[in-house]
Amino acid sequence: MARKFNFSAGPAMLPTAVIERAQAEMLDWNGSGMSTMEMSHRGKEYMSIATKAEQDLRDVMAIPDNYKVLFLQGGASSQFAAIPLNLLGDKTSADYLNTGMWSKKAIAEAKRYCTVNIVADTSDNGFTTVPTQAELNLNPDAAYVHYTPNETIGGVEFDYIPETNGVPLIADMSSTILSRPIDVSKFGMIYAGAQKNIGPAGLTIVIIRDDLLGNASANTPTMFNYATHADNDSMYNTPATYAWYMAGLVFEWIKEQGGLEAIAVVNKRKADKLYAVIDSSDFYGSPVAKNGRSWMNVPFTLADADLDAAFLKSAAENGLITLKGHRSVGGMRASIYNAMPEEGVDALVAFMKEFESSQA
Ligand SMILES: *Cc1c(COP(=O)(O)O)cnc(C)c1O
C-alpha cells in the first residue's frame, strides 16, 4: 500500500508519522487498555492527553498567558455567528474585510446580528489581490475587525497583519494556522477548523484574549458562548475527544520538526517551487497577484482549459490526487499544508513539466 500525495484543501493530509502513531496506540493507549476514543473525557488518562495538547499548542504558537485556548466543535463556520454574538458587547457595528469566499460567508452571517461595514473589498478583481493597509477604511467605533488571512479557495494570503489601532482583530486562520510563526498578541481572537493544518475534522480551535470573554449578548446560546467553554476547560459538554487527541499528536510532530520556524522554511520552499513552475511558461498561469500568493493553497490554470481533464487524469495516475480547483474558480488547486511532504511538491512540479512537454 502506498500513500498518495493528496492535495485536498480539507480534510487534508496528516503527517504519516502521526497516523502511524495513532495506529500503534489505537487498541491500547499507554497501557490503559482502551483506545482514546473510548475514554471518559473527564478521566485522568484523557485529561492528560487534553492538557498536553493545549500546552504543546501554546508552546508551538507562543500563545501569551492572557489568551484562552478553546477546543470546540461546529467548525469555523459556527464561529461566523459566535463572533458577533460574543464580541459586539454594547456596540452595534463591526468591520469586515471582503477578500474571498470565506470572508463573504462570515459577512453574511454577521449581518444577522449587526451593521457590517465592509472596509475593504477585492470582489471587483475576482478576489485575486490583498488590500493594502492604506486601503482599509477602518471605523474606530467598530466592535472588532474581522478578516481571513488566507482565503483557501482563491489562494490569496495577506502578507501583513492589519493594524487596527486598538480595535480587536479577529482572524479566520483555518487554512494558514501553524504554517509559520505569528505574533498572537496582535489578535483579539484567532480561530480555525482543524481539518486543514491541525488534525481531523470535528475540532475547531479558538484562541481568544481574556478581556473579550464575558460580554456575550443575552440571547447567545450556551454552547455558542465562549465563556462557557473557557470556564470549563472546553469540557462543558463532551468535546471531540479523538480529534483533540490527534491534534495533540500533530502539535508534538511540529515540535519534532523544529517548531514553526523550521516548518515555515519548508513551507516557503514548497510554495516557491510550485509558483516557479507556474510562472516559468505560458502553459500554466496563476490568477493571484504576486504579493498575495498563498503558501498553503496554490490555484493554477492551464492556458488551454480543454486540457484540464487530461491533466487531472494523468496526475492521478501518477499518485497526485485531488488537484481539481474549487468549482467557483476552476482550473487546479494544490493545497500544500504542513503535512504535504516536500517530495510531494517535487513530484507535482516534475509532473507539471512533463505534462507540458507531452503537449508540445
Ligand atoms: C475550510 C474553511 C472554513 C470552513 O471550515 P468548517 O470547519 O468546515 O466550518 C472557513 N474558513 C476558512 C478560511 C476555511 O479554509
Question: Which CATH number belongs to the domain containing residue 45 in this structure?
Answer: 3.40.640.10
**Ligand 1: distance of its center to the CA of 353 in Å?**
32
- Verify whether ligand 1 is closer than 6 Å to residue 152 (CB atom): yes
159 annotated ligand-binding residue:
no
* Alpha carbons 90 and 188: distance in angstroms, whole number: 17
- Verify whether ligand 1 is closer than 6 Å to residue 356 (CB atom): no
Question: Which CATH number belongs to the domain containing residue 347 in this structure?
Answer: 3.90.1150.10
Contact assessment for residue 118 and residue 93, using Cβ atoms and an 8 Å cutoff: no
**320: DSSP letter:** E
Does one domain contain both 238 and 137? yes
* 298 inside domain: yes
237 annotated ligand-binding residue:
yes
Q: Which atom of ligand 1 is nearest to the CA of 79?
A: 9
pLDDT in tens, 261-304: 999 999 999 999 999 999 999 999 999 999 999 999 999 999 99
Task: Please identify, among 207, 233, 256, the residue that sits at the C-terminal boundary of a domain.
Answer: 256
* 296 inside domain: yes
pLDDT, residue 330, reads 87
* 21 inside domain: no
334 annotated ligand-binding residue:
no
Number of domains in the chain: 2
- Verify whether ligand 1 is closer than 6 Å to residue 174 (CB atom): yes
Mark whether 172 is an active-site residue.
yes
Of the residues 29, 68, 102, 295, which is catalytic? 102
pLDDT, residue 1, reads 60
Kindly report whether the global pTM for this prediction surpasses the value 0.85: yes
pLDDT, residue 2, reads 86
pLDDT, residue 181, reads 98
Q: Mutual orientation of helices 44-61 and 259-279 as an angle, nearest 10°?
A: 60
* 152 inside domain: yes
Listed as ranges, residues in the chain with pLDDT below 50 are none
Query: Is residue 334 packed enough to be buried (19+ CB in 10 Å), middle (13-18) or exposed (0-12)?
Result: buried
Ligand 1 pocket, mutate which of 103, 127, 172 (most atoms under 8 A from CB) = 172
pLDDT, residue 75, reads 98
Q: Residue 284's domain spans which residues?
A: 5-15+259-358
Task: Please identify, among 256, 282, 298, the residue that sits at the C-terminal boundary of a domain.
Answer: 256
233 annotated ligand-binding residue:
no
195 annotated ligand-binding residue:
yes
Mark whether 52 is an active-site residue.
no
**Ligand 1: distance of its center to the CA of 295 in Å?**
17
- Verify whether ligand 1 is closer than 6 Å to residue 100 (CB atom): no
Distances (CA, A) of 281 to 260, 285, 308: 33, 8, 17
pLDDT in tens, 68-92: 999 999 999 999 999 999 999 999 9
Does one domain contain both 252 and 324? no
pLDDT, residue 327, reads 86
Task: Please identify, among 207, 223, 256, the residue that sits at the C-terminal boundary of a domain.
Answer: 256
Contact assessment for residue 248 and residue 56, using Cβ atoms and an 8 Å cutoff: yes
Of the residues 29, 68, 95, 172, which is catalytic? 172
**Ligand 1: distance of its center to the CA of 192 in Å?**
7
* 264 inside domain: yes
